Structure 1
Amino acid sequence: MSPRDSFDINGCWSGSATILPGNKPVMLYTGIDINNVQVQNIAVPKDPSDPLLVEWKKLDENPLILPPNGINATSFRDPTTAWLGKDGYWRILVGSERSNLGTALLFRSKDFMAWTESQNNFHSAPDTGIWECPDFFPVLLKGKKGLDTSVSGANVKYILKVSVQRTWSDFYTVGDYCLNKDEYVPDNTQGNHYSTTTGLKFDYGKFYASKTFFDEAKTRRILWAWVNESDSAADDFAKGWAGIQAIPRTLWLDKNGKQLLQWPIEELETLRTDEVKLKKTPLTKGSLLEVQGITAAQADIEVRFRLPSLENAESFDPSWNDAQQLCGREDATVQGGIGPFGLLTLASKDLDEYTAVFFRIFKTQDKPVVLMCSGGIRSSLKAELDKPSYGAFVDVDLIDGEISLRSLIDHTVVESFGAGGKTSITTRVYPTLAVGKEAHLYVFNNGTETVEIKRLNAWTMQTPKMNLGHEISSLFAA
């Protein structure tokens, strides 16, 4: 779709698709109208028999939804996938703000054409600014299966995710939804759900404007996200493009009921080749072991570390509540007790350049504290590049003394998953030396305690076949 009508002449922005009864897909999207007002519009497939639904037509009834009273006309966007209540009404959320109060506005419709705003406050939070790209969906209390967006019941929790533009972060909460009141209530009522130090995020790195959908063929919920740029605007113009999609991930609720787990979709494994294995390999203080036999610039690595006794872990200071700040201060070069240990990805042979992905273990009286970091100032030699050290605390007890790490490397992106998907960090980097065949991959330990590689599997990742015709790519075929 392109901006050409009075209701979207200044922009066709984000939206969501919904499958109506009779297997009829429709799309709601935000248009910027002739007066620069953000409105919600509808489009339907031009040819419903086209399996890729390439062409869409906008209906003459547009716009369907105008900004309600009290809403900034330039802060009203990104309708969600609709869900159908037992009362026969379709519902959607639209992201907005009222006087710096981030809010998700709920609208209802019987026929998907005439929409009215709910009189109740679905959910909002102070001092967050506008909420973009809201997403709302049910998850099972137990198991990995995904649910259709309209499913409800006693064995279901709900996820509300919002993109907070102020921090360029995607926050989510786990909670309950009351259909009668059209109200969402997070389980955890303590702390700020939208704080970079206390809020839950899909990803703690370069990851924004995400969206999930229900994959009916494999009964799973899949997450897509935008990995925006760290490079300069001038470089973006020179390249002729900016921003890419992250690897699609499957989402499900952790058995503790407090957070989501996520993992790259299984189809990605069809691209693996040239497997390399390591088992029971000790990493003593200062160890640096190169993983050879794969293409390190385009690779998939899964490694499980076995840890020693936690007695020699450094004591954790309760004031260290900002994981990203801690990763910047205690980077891969700073020796600790247990850690830093992990991977040096996109590394030059002399290690002038690398993107470190690693863990550092601290101890408290109650339980160990696991810090996961990625990125850092050595990720590129480009002086003008934004090179933060991203970080997050991993909610894992280390009862068995083991922790896992998976990293997907694709030239300028490193997506990493700690502890089986409890924490993920996506880093956008632009190496100048570790490019193509000059990229190397290392496993390292810069802690005083020996850490064992219990097992490591690494693969070169083939380039997927990109099918631009009328056949669906075999990569995503059911």
Structure 2
Amino acid sequence: MTDMALGADTLRPTAHYTAEKTWLNDPNGLLHYRGVYHLFFQNNPNGRTWGDMSWGHATSTDLVTWEHQPTAISYTDDEFVFSGSAVVDVRNTAGFAQPGETALVAIYTSAATPDSGAQTQSQALAYSVDEGNTWVRYEGNPVLDIGSTEFRDPKVFWYGGEDDGHWVMVIVEATNHRVIVYTSNDLRAWTRASHFGPAHAVGGVWECPDLFPLRVEGTDETKWVLIVSLNPGGIAGGSGTQFFIGDFDGETFTAENLTDSAELEDYDWLDYGHDYYAAVSFNNAPDGRRLMIGWASNWLYARDTPVYPWRSAMSLVREVTLERRPDGAYAIAQRPILPESGIEVHRFTAPKGERAVATVSNSDGERVTITAGDGALVVDRSQAGENDFHPDYRPAAAAPLPEGDVDVTIVVDGPIIEVFADGGRVVMTEQVFPARALDRFEVS
């Protein structure tokens, strides 16, 4: 199969965002402002592999139809623009807005390019006073520099009330497997407050942290969720995204779901598939909703996937909620935001004590099988088309399922399959590369 076999007019996904003709990876700067969702992302504007990293930009009003925008923050000869976040500075704490203006402020990792003669990763600001259309780098950059080569991916949010709150940044010391908490009153001067980790999966570097509160469904209780991506060392091999649940007092996160086990299966994962990484949530989402999106790929083989002219896609946006299980433990549930048409959505139920096998296929016999039952959900992509483009493209992934009847929803959008089981408490995302659309469905 050649690159052209999965070109823009065949299997480019509809609801999973892709850059027009270039490479993308981690979502950045997710933000809702004045009715518009802003998706920034790691992008090489000059090619289809990782390279001149900049912040690409897309916008949406419904989270499923995305409009390409010009590059937001471009690389320079001395600086790659790595992952980060964006906030609405309604209080003008940073002083970037003039009277009558509101500044959107991006906090990103400034990574020294090879041509710069340096190797450091520091934190920098850029701001926009025209609703995210154009961005200006802060002249006082960097605003946080500890002299490290592995210090990146700041997620910033406001904590507390209007008059007594402060900015919080969670950021990783990647090779130390630590999430560091910093605080600030103005987004410019930052004070280290605490750290979390190492904990649970540490088989690769920690990246792309996120920290946010969730109300426990059906109660008045609120817990805090810390997201940490890991590469490699994920549950399915290669990239993965784990989470911790606990409490946060504005300076220190304390996890409640820690275990001494050394088994990956005993940790909490946002997604058990091969292709879900760097998931972060939108700041300022309306109605208090917690909306997340991840990169639907895996660093093991992302640079080699046989698609053209784009390479890599985002996951669907997922609404995240928190529940308390009968055993007292907390569980995250994820519900995909689906378009009204344009993709395939299938549902089936695996009755208690039985195994159900669903197949999505095409007229060429290419297929993916989804098996639910016997305490496990298995997605097998070994016969779904091209699978020899990289030796680390693995054929199957598995996730634990509870006893009892289990509902399963399968979303098929071009080369991306997302599977949501047990009310979205178990999720798997997989890339597949068939010659044509998987438009058939059956259950046995």
TM above 0.5: yes
Superposition TM-score, scaled by structure 1 size: 0.66
Distance across 1 between alignment mates of 2:421 and 2:260: 24
Deviations 1:155-209 (A, max 9, x none): 2100001011122110001111234xx322221232358x532211111111001
Distance across 2 between alignment mates of 1:121 and 1:405: 38
Q: Which residue of 1 aligns with 2:208?
A: 133
Matched, 1:410 2:413: yes
Aligned residue pair count = 343
Matched, 1:443 2:442: yes
SS of structure 1 residue aligned to 2:442: strand
Amino acid at match of 1:65: L
Matched, 1:377 2:382: yes
1:418-437 superposed matches below 5 A: 418-432=421-435, 435-436=436-437
Superposition TM-score, scaled by structure 2 size: 0.71
1:326-341 superposed matches below 5 A: 338-339=354-355, 341=356
Q: Which residue of 2 aligns with 1:357?
A: 370
Matched, 1:81 2:156: yes
1:50-449 superposed matches below 5 A: 50=131, 53-67=132-146, 73-85=148-160, 88-97=165-174, 100-118=175-193, 120-125=194-199, 127-143=202-218, 155-167=221-233, 168-179=239-250, 182-192=251-261, 196-205=264-273, 206-214=275-283, 216-228=285-297, 233=303, 239-256=308-325, 257-265=329-337, 268-271=338-341, 298-307=343-352, 310=353, 338-339=354-355, 341-345=356-360, 347-349=361-363, 351=365, 353-361=366-374, 370-385=375-390, 386-394=393-401, 396-398=402-404, 402-432=405-435, 435-436=436-437, 439-445=438-444
1:349 offset after TM fit, Å? 3.8
CA contact (8 A) 1:138 1:159 kept: yes
CA contact (8 A) 2:278 2:295 kept: yes
Distance across 2 between alignment mates of 1:178 and 1:217: 23
Distance across 1 between alignment mates of 2:339 and 2:443: 25
Deviations 1:356-376 (A, max 9, x none): 112122xxxxxxxx2011133
RMSD: 2.5
Larger Rg: 1
CA contact (8 A) 1:171 1:200 kept: yes
Q: Structure 2 regions of 5+ residues with no counterpart?
A: 1-72, 92-101, 234-238
Q: Structure 1 regions of 5+ residues with no counterpart?
A: 145-153, 273-297, 311-337, 362-369, 446-478
Distance across 2 between alignment mates of 1:261 and 1:67: 37
Distance across 2 between alignment mates of 1:404 and 1:221: 23
Amino acid at match of 2:382: I
% identical aligned pairs: 22
CA contact (8 A) 1:228 1:242 kept: no
1:90 offset after TM fit, Å? 1.6
Distance change >3 Å, CA 220–CA 88, structure 1 → 2: closer
1:41 offset after TM fit, Å? 0.5
SS of structure 2 residue aligned to 1:359: strand
Name the stretch that deviates more: 376-385 or 206-215.
376-385
Deviations 1:309-351 (A, max 9, x none): x3xxxxxxxxxxxxxxxxxxxxxxxxxxx32x23211x14464
